[in-house]
């Protein structure tokens, strides 16, 4: 294991970071892919709680069901679902890039827009249809 | 793929392989979850035993956990500079995904075979 800290002394220049750049739509979408990934990481515990509550029997299951039906928590679950579809379509975008296609500015913009639109639509379909 | 220099390539490939599984199965699992909230206990048990839903949930969870493990390690690599802290959080990450994967699998087996 190389100690990275030995290289991180104050004399070394830092590469430009987030605060240097003017935020752009595609940049925010890139950040959102990581943010939704992290949200899903911790959100997986919500799915786990639900699964385990089924094993514990009707009483526990109904309690968790009631908890998940509270407006605030239900809204959080809605956002959780949106994070899933956002990450899903963002992932498809990455698959397209893996083939070497979709790197032109217009394509990148279009793919980013499609990610937002399709993820929202899918979330609404799963929740309300 | 034995030397550690190929580890990045392996993670790259597995991240994509698990992504395909997550994409195909995750839609069903999330749909089942969202529509299952507020459903009666008997309906949910029946739903899990229909069309091998319990198996879909299990495979999705295992694939998702591997995907999460790579993804979160990647986040740690990017933002945690201190070596020991990164090592520790990496181990916590492993504990977290193993718990989710194991608990989900055991739950699903119990629901499908014991109920």
Closest CA to A91 of B9, B71, B65: B71
- Spatial separation of the C-alpha atoms in residues A41 and A33, rounded to whole Å: 12
User: Average pLDDT for residues B56-81, to the nearest whole number?
Assistant: 96
DSSP state letter for B38: T
A13-55 residue pLDDT tens: 667 777 778 889 999 999 999 999 999 999 999 999 999 999 9
- The residue written with tokens 């911790």 in the block is A42
Mapped onto helix, strand or coil, the DSSP state of residue B20 is helix
The secondary structure of residue A22, as a DSSP letter, is: P
Residue in chain B lying closest to A89 (CA): B23
Instruction: Compute the distance between CA of residue B16 and CA of residue A60 in angstroms, rounded to an integer.
Output: 36
pLDDT at B2: 55
B106–chain A nearest CA distance, Å: 9
Query: Most B CBs within 10 Å: which of A37, A55, A92, A125, as the mutation test of the B interface?
Result: A55
Angle between helices A58-69 and B41-49 (to 10 degrees): 100
CB A40 within 8 A of CB B60: no
- Tell me the average pLDDT of chain A: 91
CA distance readout (Å), B82 to A60, B8, B73: 42, 20, 14
Which of A18, A44, A85 to mutate against chain B (most B CBs within 10 Å)?
A44
User: Which residue bears the tokens 């995750």?
Assistant: B26
Question: How far is residue B58's CA from residue B101's CA, in Å, rounded to a whole number?
Answer: 8
Assigned CATH topology for domain A24-128: 3 helical TM bundles of succinate and fumarate reductases (1.20.1300)
Helices (H) and strands (E) in chain A, counts: 4, 0
Q: How does the average pLDDT of chain B come out, rounded?
A: 93
Confidence (pTM): 0.90
> B85 is in which domain, residue-wise?
4-114
Half-sphere exposure at residue B79, Cβ-oriented, CA atoms within 13 angstroms: 10
Q: What is the chain B residue with the closest CA to A62?
A: B41
Where along chain A do its domains lie?
24-128
CATH number, position B76: 1.20.1300.10
Q: Hey, how many other C-beta atoms are within 10 angstroms of the C-beta on A112?
A: 21
Residue B54 and residue A63 in contact, taking contact as beta carbons nearer than 8 Å: no
State whether residue B48 sits within 8 Å of chain A by CB: yes
| pLDDT at residue A78 greater than cutoff 90 | yes
- pLDDT-derived band of residue B1, with 50, 70 and 90 as boundaries? very low
Q: How many helices (H) and strands (E) does chain B have?
A: 4, 0
Q: Which residue of A has its CA nearest to B18?
A: A91
CB–CB of B26/B60 below 8 Å? yes
pLDDT at A5 over 90: no
Instruction: Tell if the CB–CB gap between B37 and A69 is shorter than 8 Å.
Output: yes
Dihedral (Cα; B30, B35, B37, B42), 10-degree rounding: -110
Domain count for chain B: 1
Q: What is the pLDDT of residues A66-77, one digit of tens each?
A: 999 999 999 999
């Amino acid at each position: 294991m190389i100690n990275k800290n030995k290289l991180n002394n104050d004399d070394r220049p830092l590469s430009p970071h987030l605060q240097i750049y003017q935020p752009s739509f595609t940049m925010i979408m890139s950040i959102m892919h990581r943010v939704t990934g992290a949200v899903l990481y911790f959100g997986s515990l919500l799915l786990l709680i639900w699964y385990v509550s089924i094993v514990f029997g009707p009483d526990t299951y109904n309690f968790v069901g009631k908890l998940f039906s509270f407006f605030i928590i239900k809204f959080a679950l809605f956002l959780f679902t949106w994070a899933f579809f956002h990450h899903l379509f963002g992932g498809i975008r990455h698959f397209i890039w893996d083939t070497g296609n979709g790197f032109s500015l217009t394509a990148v913009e279009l793919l980013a827009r499609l990610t937002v639109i399709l993820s929202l639509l899918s979330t609404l379909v799963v929740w309300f249809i | 793929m034995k030397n550690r220099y190929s580890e990045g390539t392996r993670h790259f490939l597995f991240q994509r392989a698990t992504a395909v599984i997550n994409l195909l199965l995750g839609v069903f699992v999330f749909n089942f979850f969202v529509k299952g909230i507020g459903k009666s206990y008997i309906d949910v048990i029946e739903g899990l035993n229909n069309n091998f839903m319990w198996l879909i949930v299990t495979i999705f969870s295992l694939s998702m956990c591997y995907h999460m493990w790579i993804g979160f390690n990647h986040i740690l690599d990017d933002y945690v500079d201190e070596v020991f802290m990164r090592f520790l959080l990496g181990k916590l990450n492993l504990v977290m995904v193993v718990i989710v994967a194991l608990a989900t699998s055991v739950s699903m087996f119990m629901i499908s075979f014991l109920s």
